[in-house]
Amino acid sequence: MVQDCTEKMSSSMTSSVTGMGLGGITGLTATLNILTCSKEPQITIGGMPSNYVPGISSNYNISSFCQRPGQTQRLPVQRSGPTAQQGSRNSPNTIYAHNLISKLADQNERRRRQDAMEMISLSYYSQAPLKVELTEFYSRDNAKEHHTDQYDLVNATLLANPVLRRGQNFYFAVRFDRAHDKQQDIVRIVFCFGPKPSVTKGTRVVLPVKFDTLQPNAIPHPRDVIGQGIGMSRVQVHETSASVTPAVSMPITSVSPISTVRETAAYGIRRTSISNETVTVNSPLSPPAPQERPVVERFGASQHSFTRSVGSQQGSMQNLAAIAPELDKWDLSILRQDGNTVTFQVRIPVTAPVGVWNCWVQTNRVGQRDNRNDYKCDEEIYILFNPWCKEDPVYLENDTSRKEYIQNEQGKIWCGTWRQPKGRKWIYGQFDDIVLPACMYLLEQSGLEHSERSNPIRVSRAISSMINTNGKNGLMVGRYDGEYKDGIAPHAWTGSVAILERYLTSGGKPVEYGQCWVYSGLVVTICRALGIPCRSVTNYVSAHDTNRTFTIDKFFDKDGNEVPNGPDEDCFDSCWSFHVWNDVWMQRPDLPQGYGGWQIIDSTPQEDSDSVFQCGPASVEAVRRGEVGFQYDTPFMYSQINSELCHFQEDDSSDWGFVKVPSNQNQVGRKIITKAPGKEDDEGETDLLEITSEYKLSESTAAERQSSIAACRGSQRLQQYYENPDRSGEDVAFDLMAMEVIHYGQPFDCTMNIQNKSNEDRTIWCVLTASSCYYTGAIASRLRRAHGEFIVRAGQKEVLKLQVTPQEYMDKLVDHSMVKVHAMAYVKQTSQAWSDEDEFCLNKPNMQVQVRNHPTVGQENGIAFSFQNPLSVHLTDCFFTFEGPGIQRPRQIKFRDVKPNELVNHQDRFVPTRIGDCHVVVTFSSRQIDEVVGSAAVSVRG
């Protein structure tokens, strides 16, 4: 095709060189027209083809007698003799006659068609496609309706990015270089998502602009007033002539003006800062007036509130119910038209993929599709899930729940032990300008298809896989051995923002270091930023069943020492003091009715799922009922809160060498808690909400036993090894006493009570051990151990105590200052065996945080941190970490050495950036003591 066009163009050029007159010159024009419009269907204007050029006859091929440029005319050699032809067509006379008739035909045809040309508007040939001069997405005004006005990206001074929620309308305006021609101008608005946008996959949307469907309430202005200066105060000019209708004013809204100008030359864009002042404007790019939001019933009892203009292309107020299914589609309509400026209303369907979208404005003329202007808007459009929209699977009906699980920027993550839970304040900071970009990059790294990002089930599962670094280049490196010299210790973080910023600015390098509770805080930040309701959940005495027996097996030798990994070194079960995961709220159309609501996702790498370290979403209701056949990873989550903790002691009389030892207190899933919605307690634990009943059926019920049987179904382990021995002949009671609150730096006693209930003396062998341990259950160091044999008289009680001094534990404690106490006993006369264990944390001093005066936006204010050093040694390598949304971005402050038992007091300053109530979180760390944490509520005025 290209070769044919080139030959035709060459022929046309030759005809002009050889003096073939107007026909030759216009031949070149026709050829160029062929090159640009050969694929377009022929369009008739005024009875003539739209691509007609005068001087070219439809029955005349000028290339039949012209030579290529630079060549001479070569005529065949005239033959002589009998075969010679008289009057050869290539003779000079024949060529002259042919040229003459061609020229005469051209002149006649040009005269005949000149009259028709006068009927065609010259604008058809003279005007190029529309060009975009300026776009405005009304980021701040749309954000109010979309509940995204807290995002820093929306409120950026230089370039505000639209942050929108699917299932709602938004507005944007486009200013063209001239008024549009309804008959000839074609405009399309295109939204693209991902590296390979596809219409069929829902990642590319082409919305044609229907200029003839202007809404009845749209207000066309008689003249364009936008040229008086973008970003500066503009006054609308009204015509005084009676022949011109005065401009009608839209409702005036005080907005931040457009702070930049885009100058378009060809397809280039240049930005220039003009103004940052807030003024009241009334112009074609002023935000549209609020629209009435009718309610449409869908899917029976379901209702959906949305914004839609009356009389748009798809329907009006009278038939909104009929067009309800159209709410799942993109829609574009013209809200108003002001000279060269058009304001559009776009509806984002509730099924739109979540992520960063780009907007293009395509313009061309009728019949000239290849001659097209493509304008890419500079703004990146963030589209999020919508918990305010009833049609979105993440919809939350309760406003209190939305404020807590979507909008709350701070919260508590619970650590400690089941007897003494400790809430750790955490700044989620989901509205920080670094968070959404980091979320989008993490989703890209997860490998989740862009077309699947409309499904919160798939998105939340991808999030659980990208927080950890096991198997891929995730967000954070986990470490549990206390060696953090080449990174930052997990307890030194105050929130998620610093972690995400470090990850993004380092080019996606995993951040060091984190643990399950840090992972959980990051998941809350990412989910809430994307619009998925999320909460942090702590399970105390959390099982990690590695062989899928729904048991956690521990083995001990004859002397009461634990046998690591069991006698065959193939048992890697563990029981964590606490484990933190997340619940996300969504409907589950892939499960039977009743299994929606809270779903468990766990970002801490323990077991791979589908060859990836990921977990969930598993229905909380399915876990509660023991329905382990449902997706995703329900059996694993069930085992974490329902497995049986089994202790086995070496015994020569046993056929397999070990016997199961009964226990008083060992129970998996002792307590499951989260932060209570709407409550904040900076000093106590009154904001604790226990949700064990949401995860487990009531104890000692037939229903629980049935669910346990259902969960263990399919296990082929020989259950007789897990049966408790007959305890009817036991006559000695053992009890390991719970520890009271022990302050860091103070001694403590481990106590075991023994009561002989028989009428005879009993000889008892026992062992009592205190060890420092990681919260994963692994032993770090033995602090002290006592064992022996003694006689308990008939009907008498004995008390065993093991005292541990600060000097014995100070340099052996690890994260969370956790101590595990283990006790074992054996009665020689009756062969009664018993075992139990307990854990507790040493209490660190609280940090006192005091804010001076009354903080005001933009004004410097003072803040003070103080605490008492509980140790009789110097504290070295000291530093504070300070953070508060709208108060202070994460900042680390180096501090001098602290003297023994000194009252530490540090003064600092901050400058608030936004109005409202928030919390400040401060941590102190040193080589000798860490996890000194404090927080305070701060109310910032305007």
Q: What is the DSSP string of 166-185?
A: TTSEEEEEEEESS---TTTE
pLDDT in tens, 597-608: 999 999 987 776
pLDDT in tens, 756-792: 999 999 999 999 999 999 998 888 999 999 988 989 9
Helix residue ranges, H only, 531-659: 620-625, 634-642
User: Where does residue 224 rank: exposed (0-12), middle (13-18), buried (19+ CB within 10 A)?
Assistant: middle
* Residues above pLDDT 90, as percent of the chain: 47
DSSP letter assigned to residue 878: E
> Is the pLDDT assigned to residue 54 strictly greater than 60?
no
pLDDT recorded at residue 235: 31
pLDDT recorded at residue 804: 94
Q: How many separate helices (H) and strands (E) can be counted in the chain?
A: 15, 46
pLDDT classification of 520: cutoffs 50, 70, 90: very high
DSSP letter assigned to residue 669: S
3-class SS of residue 97: helix
Q: Which of 359, 439, 516, 841 is catalytic?
A: 516
pLDDT classification of 236: cutoffs 50, 70, 90: very low
Task: Write phi, then psi, for 458 (nearest 5 degrees).
Answer: -70, -40
pLDDT recorded at residue 247: 33
Q: In what order do the strands lie in the sheet with 888-895?
A: 888-895, 878-884, 916-925, 932-940
Rounded Cα gap, residues 350 and 321, in angstroms = 17
Query: pTM for this one?
Result: 0.76
- What's the half-sphere exposure (Cβ side, CA atoms, 13 Å) at 552? 22
The tokens describing 798, both together, are 């004995």
pLDDT classification of 90: cutoffs 50, 70, 90: low
* Residues above pLDDT 70, as percent of the chain: 72
pLDDT classification of 46: cutoffs 50, 70, 90: very low
Kindly state the helix (H) or strand (E) to which residue 499 belongs, with its residue range. Answer: helix 497-505
pLDDT recorded at residue 707: 54
Rounded Cα gap, residues 395 and 370, in angstroms = 44
Q: What is the mean pLDDT of residues 118-130?
A: 64
pLDDT classification of 227: cutoffs 50, 70, 90: very low
Of residues 357, 385, 361, 382, the one with CA closest to residue 373:
361
pLDDT recorded at residue 739: 87
Q: What is the mean pLDDT of residues 419-448?
A: 94
Q: Which of 304, 491, 544, 579 is catalytic?
A: 579
CA distances from 502 to 495, 910, 921 (A): 12, 22, 19
pLDDT classification of 67: cutoffs 50, 70, 90: very low
On whether the CB atoms of residues 503 and 479 are closer than 8 A, the answer is no
pLDDT recorded at residue 157: 83
pLDDT in tens, 174-196: 999 998 888 889 999 999 999 99
pLDDT recorded at residue 116: 61
User: Where does residue 497 rank: exposed (0-12), middle (13-18), buried (19+ CB within 10 A)?
Assistant: buried
pLDDT recorded at residue 548: 67
> Is the pLDDT assigned to residue 553 strictly greater than 50?
yes
Q: What is the mean pLDDT of residues 797-825?
A: 91
Q: What is the mean pLDDT of residues 301-328?
A: 39
Higher pLDDT, 29 or 92: 92
Least confident of 104-118, 487-501, 614-628, 822-836: 104-118
3-class SS of residue 341: strand
Q: In what order do the strands lie in the sheet with 748-756?
A: 732-736, 748-756, 797-804
pLDDT in tens, 472-484: 678 999 998 888 9
Of residues 688, 94, 795, the one with CA closest to residue 412:
688
pLDDT recorded at residue 703: 54
Rounded Cα gap, residues 889 and 429, in angstroms = 9
Kindly state the helix (H) or strand (E) to which residue 783 belongs, with its residue range. Answer: strand 779-792
CA distances from 155 to 160, 271, 508, 530, 803 (A): 6, 19, 26, 17, 59
Higher pLDDT, 933 or 289: 933
Rounded Cα gap, residues 400 and 679, in angstroms = 11
Task: Write phi, then psi, for 268 (nearest 5 degrees).
Answer: -90, 155
Q: Which of 602, 815, 836, 930 is catalytic?
A: 602
> Is the pLDDT assigned to residue 258 strictly greater than 70?
no
The tokens describing 162, both together, are 């639209």
Q: What is the mean pLDDT of residues 858-869?
A: 92
CA 265 to mean position of chain CA atoms: 37
User: Where does residue 764 rank: exposed (0-12), middle (13-18), buried (19+ CB within 10 A)?
Assistant: buried
Rounded Cα gap, residues 86 and 913, in angstroms = 99
Active site residue 750: no
pLDDT in tens, 138-155: 999 999 999 999 999 999
Residues 6 or more apart whose CB falls under 8 angstroms from that of 929 comprise: 744, 844, 869, 870, 871, 875
**CA angle (335, 340, 343) in 5-degree steps:** 20
Least confident of 52-61, 462-471, 686-695, 877-886: 52-61
> Is the pLDDT assigned to residue 504 strictly greater than 70?
yes
pLDDT recorded at residue 172: 94
pLDDT in tens, 265-293: 332 332 322 233 333 334 445 555 544 44
> Is the pLDDT assigned to residue 674 strictly greater than 80?
yes
- The label of the residue with tokens 């042919």 reads 98
pLDDT recorded at residue 664: 59
610 φψ region: left (φ > 0), alpha (ψ -120 to 50), beta (else): left
Least confident of 295-304, 332-341, 435-444, 727-736: 295-304
Kindly state the helix (H) or strand (E) to which residue 401 belongs, with its residue range. Answer: helix 399-402
pLDDT in tens, 1-36: 444 444 444 444 433 333 333 333 333 334 434 333
Rounded Cα gap, residues 96 and 73, in angstroms = 13
Annotate 622-643 with DSSP letters as a single string.
HHHHT-TTSTTTHHHHHHHHH-
User: Where does residue 927 rank: exposed (0-12), middle (13-18), buried (19+ CB within 10 A)?
Assistant: exposed
Active site residue 491: no
- Positions of E strands within 813-926: 818-827, 832-843, 848-851, 861-868, 878-884, 888-895, 903-910, 916-925
3-class SS of residue 287: coil
Active site residue 579: yes
Mean pLDDT of the chain: 77
Higher pLDDT, 346 or 575: 346
In the chain, what is the straight-line distance between the N-terminal and C-terminal CA atoms, in Å? 69
pLDDT recorded at residue 126: 57
- Positions of E strands within 339-453: 341-347, 355-365, 368-376, 381-384, 410-416, 421-427
- The label of the residue with tokens 């309509």 reads 333
